[in-house]
Amino acid sequence: MNGMLAVLWREYLFFKNRIWSITGSSLVAPLLYLTAFGWGLGRAVNMAGVTYVDFIVPGILALSTMNASFNAVSTPLSIARLYDRTLEEYLVSPITLFSFAAGKILAGALRGLYVGLILLAVAFVFGANFRLSGLFLLLAFLNCLVFASLGFLVALKVQSHPDMVRFNSFIITPMIFLCGTFFSLEHLPTHIQLFIKALPLTPASQGLRSLALGQELSWYAPSLQLLYLAAFLTWGLWASHKVE
């Protein structure tokens, strides 16, 4: 527990020192999506019975929290491991690997939630309609935890910075566009639908959209997210035992 608090304190200092650059850089892409696909295209298009802008806000929230949480952990931790070697200070200290992982992942997830809340505020100011509830925020935070855990795992497995760039290009970026963020999956062939539904971002975009539009939340979303969280966390802990 003390180890986790120490890690969180370090992450807080980093966040405090860079709050404006973190906030700005995290919001550029989602605001562009909102402007182009939401207010530009979205005024004239309806999807799934609602205006397009209302349709894509939950999707953009899902992808933004994914990006913010993943990047808050993956790049800094891989640099700490491969270049600064500041990771060794944590590995040498008498904290458990679980408390180290928990601190890093929680800090990354809180960064994701911070970006998500700002995005919701901006979308609200610009006239998007969505239902905000505790369950909605909980599901968004679960998405943050899933991708912060993935960031932790990837940071401990990559061998260089270009590896991290490749992971972003081949795994993270395709999910931004595929996982039901900008369009409904209904029109896709069944086997492609099944594949996309199994990806870790899809339950977030689908589940958040259901809640935002006042529909019932399917068990599929939180169950799959919890499954991914457990898998990434376990794999990440195993990787932290092995990392040298």
Site for another protein, rule CB under 8 A: 2-3, 5-6, 9-10, 13-14, 17, 84-86, 88-97, 241, 244
Closer of 7 and 62 to another protein (Cβ): 7
Closer of 94 and 189 to another protein (Cβ): 94
Whole-number Cα distances in Å, 210 to 132, 136, 157, 176, 219 = 11, 9, 35, 18, 12
Buried b (16+ CB within 10 A) or exposed e, 223-234: ebbeebbeebbe
Closer of 99 and 129 to another protein (Cβ): 99
CB 19 → another protein: shortest distance, Å?
13
The tokens for 174 are: 């395709």
DSSP state of 50: E
Closer of 7 and 204 to another protein (Cβ): 7
CB 69 → another protein: shortest distance, Å?
21
**Cα distance between residue 101 and residue 180, in whole Å:** 30
CB 4 → another protein: shortest distance, Å?
10
CB 229 → another protein: shortest distance, Å?
22
Strands 46-47 and 50-51: antiparallel
